[in-house]
Every structure is written in structure tokens, then in C-alpha cells.
Structure 1
């Protein structure tokens, strides 16, 4: 019964984090800081720290310097990929192949953004977080694949029932935190000789 209560509490925090991230990301330039604060919110719950709404928005405020530029880059990158897909699929011969390449690139960017959000902590600098997240995305293929699967579940579930975007976003953030912690655990295991 205790495990059920702990799991239900974690799901409740995922629901709260999803809702708060959606609210904080509305200005668009706060997208990555909101995702980072959402991951920090879930980490805080797992570690037994403060998970109040005030603490969440304080994390967003701390992540905003420098984070707005990352958000702007991410939004512009996704916009370019979407425009390429729409334009190339309808107007260029062989555009279907390029559209698939753009789709794969968009998934890759989304994985790196989730890794960035999970790696960020108050006091870290965005350029170093971006570098580390990019390296981990390439080096930890299994973790990146897990994040792709969580994004696929998010898309399928919200396509079928759009209001579920709130809890599903929280679950994707939880997956990003779990993949980050998994990477740290695997990295610190002794290697067989």
C-alpha cells in the first residue's frame, strides 16, 4: 500500500509539473527554462525537497537568464523544420525523403532539449549544459531511444485525447529525469575486465 501511495504521489507531481510547465511556457521564450524547472520539480519530489508552486516559478526565474536564448533557438529550429516539411512535401520532387530527414532531425532536437532540461540545475551555465546534453544524446543511445519512445507515447495519447497533454507532459519530464539518473548510474558502474 505504501508503494502505491508513493507512486500515486509521483504521478500527482508529474501532473502538477505538466500543468506548470504548460503555463510557464506560454510566452514561448520560456520553453526551455519551463522544461528545466519541470524536471527540477520532479527531481525535488523524488529527493524529498520542496515541490511548491512558488519553488517551481523560482526555478523558472533562475533558469531564464540565458535560457530564453536557448528557447528562441529551439523554437526557430522547429519552425524551420516544419516549414521545410510543408514546403518540400508539396512542391519539390523527392521532397518526401527530405521531409523524413527533417522529421528525424526534429526528434533529435526534441531529445537534446529533454536532456538539457534534465541536466540543468540552478547555477549551471547553459552552454555547458547544451554541450553535455548533446554528448549524452549521442553516447547514450539507449537513453535517447527511451526518450524517443516517451515522446511517441505523448504524441499518440494526446492525438487521441488532447486534454491528456498535461499529465503526459509531466510523464515525459519524469522520463527525462529517469534517463538522466540512469545515465549517471551506468556511468559509475565498474567496467568488467
Structure 2
């Protein structure tokens, strides 16, 4: 007598489970991503742009995952350095000194050298930190931030001003963050791993 009813209940639960899976199969706004308050398309950012700081330990960890994100999305990740405060502004000058000479972002090995120099422990002297930074540049045939001429300094500040405008307009308040198509920000806390972040990025790239 109760057997047909139990089958109906079981079937109903199965449908609910399937419905739940289908509803959560794609990234959710407010959980995995959010719209930027102002679109940043005017800045011609790369489709995937990481907003970061050389001072940020989490950004240094994320840097190790950038090659995997690029592989999973078939896109090169662009970069914007924040200028939240004085220390971030100084680090931005270091980063953009490399960018303006390379006319590109530093590669992974160069980035790791920059992170390592900026994030040297508090027991090092200013001279030791400067030496590490200068070596990161001169070993690659580049002029260090300490040796820029007047023309290079002017060009550098143009990079800094643009980065600051992007950060302010996009209201980027924490790093690392990823901007997609100049319209969306990935919420990294809403993901369990890099694969999940890549899935959300691919979803937004297709929107």
C-alpha cells in the first residue's frame, strides 16, 4: 500500500537533487563574482587582469598559480599594481619600472625576484633590500628604479597615475583580485581552488 507512495517520494527527492545541481552548476553573482561599480573597459585591460601588490603575501602565493590559470583559460593574465598607500605606491614604482622597459609584464621568474626583494624580512638593512632590487633589474639588462633618468621618471608616473585611476574607479579594496573583461571582479573567497577560479573566469569571459 505504501510502496508506490515511497517511490513517488524517492523520485521527488531525486528531482530536487538534480534541480539543485543544475542551479549551482554555473558561478553565482555575489558568491563567485560581482559586477564592478564602474566598467573599466576604457583602460583596455587584458581580458583577465590581476590586481595585486608586491607587498602582499597572498599575491606572492597567487603568482605561483598564474601559469595554471593561464593554461586553464587560454589567456595571458595582465597585471595592475594597486596604490593603496605609501608602501604600495613605492612597490608600484618598482613594478612599473620593469613594465615600461619590457613593454610587457615581467615573467614569472622576474616577478618572484621582485616579490622576494620587497618582502625581505625586517632584519635586513635598506642597503640589502636595495641591492636585491637592483640585482633583479641589472641581471636582466634593465635599469633599476634607483637609476631612472628624468624622462624615464616622467613615463613611470604616467603608469602610476593610470594604475591609481583603475583602482579607484573599480573600488578595488583588497588583493589579489581578478578583473574580467573590465566588467567583473572574481571573488576568490567564494572558490575552493584554482580550478574553480578558472571556471568562473571562463564563464565570465563568455558573457
Band the TM-score falls in, shorter-chain normalisation: 0.3 to 0.5
Of Structure 1 and Structure 2, which has the larger fraction of its residues in helix?
A: 1
Larger of the two Rg values belongs to structure: 2
With the length of structure 1 as denominator, give the TM-score of the two structures: 0.32
Q: TM-score, normalised by structure 2?
A: 0.31
